[in-house]
Structure 1
Amino acid sequence: MERPNGRKIVLRFNRAKQAIGDEAGLLSGVLGLLGTDYGKFPTCERSWRKITTKDKVYNECIKQIFHFDEDIEGTIKKNILKSMGKSWKERMLRLYDTFYEPTLMTEENIEQRPPRIDREHWRWFLNYRAEEETKEKCKKNAANRSKQLYTHIGGSKSFARRMEEDALLFYSLTLKLFL
């Protein structure tokens, strides 16, 4: 990933250590792209917690593109890794739904694997999805999703960004009243 003009993008954070401003939107897009990168995060892991390349990607990609002061508690890094993990997990679900064909034999499904995914990684992933424990977890998650009454309609901006924009608008309107 290339930095614009070779410069780092400066990130700002609110008191809750959430990225704010337009730069937060750029961060979100970069995290989404990184989370779906097969080369950085393999498909042959059961969970995001077991991925060992997270810190390397954080240091070599995020810290090279964005400038920000880390907090002592590590909340900023934790939130960034959590966002990448969500993208990775969603990618895994889309991969299976898009490329797995239940009417084909295992070897045929392996031949029809997504581009850029290692053959043995795809084999591992298909075997993992075929396990009874995984099937039960998928059924349970689907049942829980079906109970959801409302869908998110707030758009792609985080609540932190919306709150910052609302506070700035309120401040500017208040300032106009007193001028």
Structure 2
Amino acid sequence: MKEAIKSPNERKIVLRFNSALQPVGDESGILSGVMGLLGSDYTKFPICEKDWRKVRIRDKVYNEYSRGIIKRIILKMLGRVWKETKNKLYHHCYDSELSLEENIENCPLGITADHWRWFLDYRNSEETKEKCKKNAENRSKQLYTHTGGLKSLARLGEEEVIYF
């Protein structure tokens, strides 16, 4: 990961923030890419936690990689990637036609069997299924969806101000 963060020729990337302390500009896209790589690394952030706030190692990883960037922004980006990656992992690797034991045997690379078992038990619990159903219901009520592609609304807003 440190190699992914290092820029060529040891140059530093200066990250700009808008008045709401949101990263903007092309540099925030680079930051987002690095956070995507880091947040989906199961060796750094195990999948056997229900909530990002309970991931104990997140502060250690932040201190190792951040180099003084605003902590709240970094942890928020990592948490979003971690959560989205867990969701994709479940939908791509879990087969409802198979038994729990068969699904556990099909553990994805990079994840330990006990973490995978914990994750499947959590995702298949009645409490989690009810929460997923409620969230899907709430998303269906949204009037507007973000259709700006990979760029955050802060970056799109910043570009509009610059160009107009």
**Normalised TM-score (structure 2):** 0.88
Structure 2 counterpart of 1:129, from 123, 127, 132: 123
1:107 counterpart = 2:101: yes
What is residue 61 of structure 1 aligned with on the other side? 65
Deviation string 1:123-157 (CA, Å, 9 cap, x unpaired) is: 00111112211111111111112223333212222
Structure 1 counterpart of 2:40, from 36, 41, 53: 36
Structure 2 counterpart of 1:4, from 2, 7, 13: 7
Structure-2 change in CA distance of 1:7 and 1:138 (3 Å): same
Q: Which amino acid in 1 is paired with 2:136?
A: A
Q: Which amino acid in 1 is paired with 2:109?
A: P
Shift of 1:61: 2.0
Q: Which amino acid in 2 is paired with 1:141?
A: N
Structure 1 distance, partners of 2:66, 2:98, is 40
Q: Which blocks of at least 5 consecutive residues in structure 2 are unaligned?
A: none
1:142 counterpart = 2:136: yes
Shift of 1:8: 3.0
Moved more, 150-159 or 106-115: 150-159
Q: Taking every aligned residue pair, what percent have the same amino acid on both sides?
A: 61
Q: Which amino acid in 2 is paired with 1:117?
A: I
Shift of 1:62: 2.9
What is residue 17 of structure 1 aligned with on the other side? 21
Q: C-alpha root-mean-square deviation of aligned residues, in Å? A: 1.7
Structure 1 counterpart of 2:52, from 26, 48, 52: 48
Shift of 1:12: 1.7
Structure 2 distance, partners of 1:150, 1:27, is 26
Count of residue correspondences: 160
Q: Which blocks of at least 5 consecutive residues in structure 1 are unaligned?
A: 71-75, 171-179
Structure label with greater radius of gyration: 1
Q: Which amino acid in 2 is paired with 1:92?
A: K
